[in-house]
Amino acid sequence: MLRFEVYSDGRGDDGIDLSGAYLFGQDGIPVRGDLVVSEGTITCKKRVHGACGLALLWDAGGPGRLMLPTTRLPDRDRPYNLNIELARARLRLIGGKIEEWGLFDYGDAARFNREFRTVRQMFITALKGDPPQRAAELADQALEAAVTLSERLALFHADVFLDRKSAAGAAARTRFGCRVSLDHLSSDYQDRLRDALDFLAIPMPWKQVEPHESRYQFSQIDTWINFAARARKPIQVGPVIDFDPVNLPEWLYLWEHDYDSLREVIYEHLQHIVKRYARQVRTWSVVSGLHAFNNFNLSFDQIMELTRMCCLLVKKLAPRSQVMIETVMPWGEYYARNQRTIPPQLYADMAVQSAIQADAFGVQIFMGVPQDGYYVRDLMQISSLLDEYVSLHKPVRITACAVPSGMEADVGDAWGGEADVAQAGYWHGPWSQRLQAEWLQAFYRIVISKPYVDSICWRDLGDTPGHYMPHGGLCSQDMEPKLAFRELRNFRAKMATKLESNNNE
């Protein structure tokens, strides 16, 4: 059993927020367990043997209120000091990334190393602190400094590798896209798409495409595909098979306990879609969320079989197209709640090891809703997450990303205005248009710097009815550009300028 004493402002904290908290084991894989709070102590009743860590929403000061982990710790009778363990975990992450990224060889490395030593000394002082309330107070100061330093390191590393990519012309070839809303065809909406984006992602929600069995509705999708052709914008279609409950038609649950029939229905649906659009589409997001949304109580083997079948079918019907497998909720917290699911990295690894014919992997990264997979993380955590995909030896594409531009309720989003943005944490302060734009710029720098990432797609162009994240669009409801839209447009123009400069040289 693990126990953590929690302190805030020099005293025991009885108001501990365990929203989204979970335990994790080796390789950061979430594990099952029960978390109980009593008298300022968190008791973790884990259901596995061995060392485990705790991740929870935590106020880190200036960097924001973030989902932060401890290190993995062995069981002991005496409780751990949570404040100290959170700081210890961040220092360990910084030290590991400095070595992994080889930052010793760059001009600013000496400065970062000095700052790291300073923060480490703050942590050592906290370890010597007595009583534990004082140690926790010192540890909080060390944690705030460590998270700030780690974000700066992540951006420094991104800029170094972005310069390398730019010198080779690869960064400038990164494509910037946005997912269109099938229901919005106004001229302002289309003008914004032409203005700032390289490609369009056209969704294929099963619930909307085939609301009744064998009765398809393609008019909206046809309209957008025709628009993309006129605007000379490449398109990415899908995901075609998406197990997110909001995208599944109700009639599909007739085969909830009949896997063979379910597989046949999926095969026929995918075949119908691909045959219709094979000539126009070159990139297919074939499957999404099979690893996370197990609404049909499928086994591990059945999930992998469906993934293989779908990829093979698209390759057969559209041999010149690119096939992509999409992962959602990339930190995998859902696995701690439902062991019938598969951790995202394990799912991707198994797809590669099983020789499933996928040309790329897609990753969705959302922050700003108090649900598993949507709690706010810092830039170092994002960079570290993307580093895990290098082992796949496949291109990686950010197929959807978004953060809010405000903290108030948003009745027009996919959550029906019920998502309390404040309960999901925040980055550097309460979300605003300015912070959304700053996050976009920092996130895009980190993502583009990864040599295996070749495209980024924002989730919603505007805060039009039905948009996904609360206040997550690049424009307002009336399509007035937000600061994030201008930031994206400028960033794209900067990359294009670098490409032109390299070509001239």
Q: How many CA atoms lie within 13 A of 52 on its CB side?
A: 27
Say what the pLDDT of residue 502 is. 53
Determine contact, residues 381/425, Cβ cutoff 8 Å: no
Please check whether residue 246 lies inside any domain of the structure. yes
Whether 36 and 95 share a structural domain: yes
Say what the pLDDT of residue 495 is. 78
- Identify the domain boundary among 105, 140, 161: 161
Say what the pLDDT of residue 103 is. 75
Tell me, what amino acid is at 274? V
Q: For 366, left (φ over 0), alpha (ψ -120 to 50), or beta?
A: beta
* Number of other CB atoms surrounding residue 145 within 10 Å: 24
DSSP secondary structure of 333-394: THHHH-TTS--HHHHHHHHHHTT---SEEEEEEE-SSSSTT-S---HHHHHHHHHGGGGG-S
The answer on pLDDT for 9 being more than 90 is: no
Whether 364 and 463 share a structural domain: yes
- pLDDT band for 400, please (50, 70, 90 cuts): very high
Whether 108 and 194 share a structural domain: no
More confident residue, 8 or 290: 290
Closest to 285 in 3D by CA, of 235, 250, 335:
235
Say what the pLDDT of residue 396 is. 96
How many Å apart are CA 475 and CA 464, to the nearest integer?
A: 9
Residue 210, exposed/middle/buried by CB under 10 A (0-12, 13-18, 19+)?
Answer: buried
Q: Which stretches of 217-357 are assigned E, i.e. beta strand? A: 235-237, 241-242, 283-288, 322-327
Please check whether residue 168 lies inside any domain of the structure. no
First to last CA, the chain: 62
> What does the pLDDT look like over 265-277, one tens digit per residue?
999 999 999 999 9
Q: Among all chains, which residue has been given the structure tokens 């102590």?
A: 41
- Tell me which H or E stretch contains 135: helix 132-167
Determine contact, residues 367/427, Cβ cutoff 8 Å: yes
Say what the pLDDT of residue 185 is. 83
- pLDDT band for 363, please (50, 70, 90 cuts): very high
Say what the pLDDT of residue 107 is. 66
Residue numbers of the domain that contains 122: 2-161
Residue 345, exposed/middle/buried by CB under 10 A (0-12, 13-18, 19+)?
Answer: buried
- Identify the domain boundary among 101, 129, 161: 161
Say what the pLDDT of residue 289 is. 93
Whether 155 and 178 share a structural domain: no
Say what the pLDDT of residue 501 is. 56
Closest to 104 in 3D by CA, of 112, 116, 93, 94:
112
Say what the pLDDT of residue 14 is. 66
Please check whether residue 166 lies inside any domain of the structure. no
Please check whether residue 422 lies inside any domain of the structure. yes
Task: Give me 137's structure tokens.
Answer: 């107070």
Whether 267 and 409 share a structural domain: yes
Say what the pLDDT of residue 10 is. 62
> What's the rounded mean pLDDT across residues 442-447?
96
Task: Give me 416's structure tokens.
Answer: 């029906």
Percent of the chain topping pLDDT 90:
77
The answer on pLDDT for 504 being more than 60 is: no
> What does the pLDDT look like over 456-489, one tens digit per residue?
999 999 999 989 999 999 999 999 999 999 999 9
Residues whose CB falls within 8 Å of the CB of residue 138, separated by 6 or more in sequence, listed in order: 122, 125, 126, 129
Determine contact, residues 13/57, Cβ cutoff 8 Å: no
The answer on pLDDT for 158 being more than 90 is: yes
- pLDDT band for 500, please (50, 70, 90 cuts): low
Whether 133 and 194 share a structural domain: no
Whether 232 and 135 share a structural domain: no
Please check whether residue 334 lies inside any domain of the structure. yes
Whether 462 and 326 share a structural domain: yes
Determine contact, residues 306/290, Cβ cutoff 8 Å: yes
Strand order in the sheet with 53-59: 30-31, 22-24, 53-59, 64-69, 426-427
Instruction: Count structural domains, the chain.
Output: 2
Determine contact, residues 461/437, Cβ cutoff 8 Å: no
Please check whether residue 107 lies inside any domain of the structure. yes
> What does the pLDDT look like over 41-50, one tens digit per residue?
999 998 888 9
Please check whether residue 167 lies inside any domain of the structure. no
Whether 68 and 184 share a structural domain: no
Here the CATH number for the domain that contains residue 262 is 3.20.20.80
**Residues recorded for the chain:** 505
Q: Among all chains, which residue has been given the structure tokens 């000496």?
A: 110
Please check whether residue 491 lies inside any domain of the structure. yes
Whether 30 and 151 share a structural domain: yes
- Identify the domain boundary among 161, 195, 228: 161
> What does the pLDDT look like over 223-259, one tens digit per residue?
999 999 999 999 999 999 999 998 999 999 999 889 9
Determine contact, residues 488/431, Cβ cutoff 8 Å: no
Residue 245, exposed/middle/buried by CB under 10 A (0-12, 13-18, 19+)?
Answer: exposed
Say what the pLDDT of residue 162 is. 87
Rg over alpha carbons for the chain, rounded to the nearest Å, is: 23
Say what the pLDDT of residue 110 is. 75
Whether 147 and 262 share a structural domain: no
Whether 141 and 181 share a structural domain: no
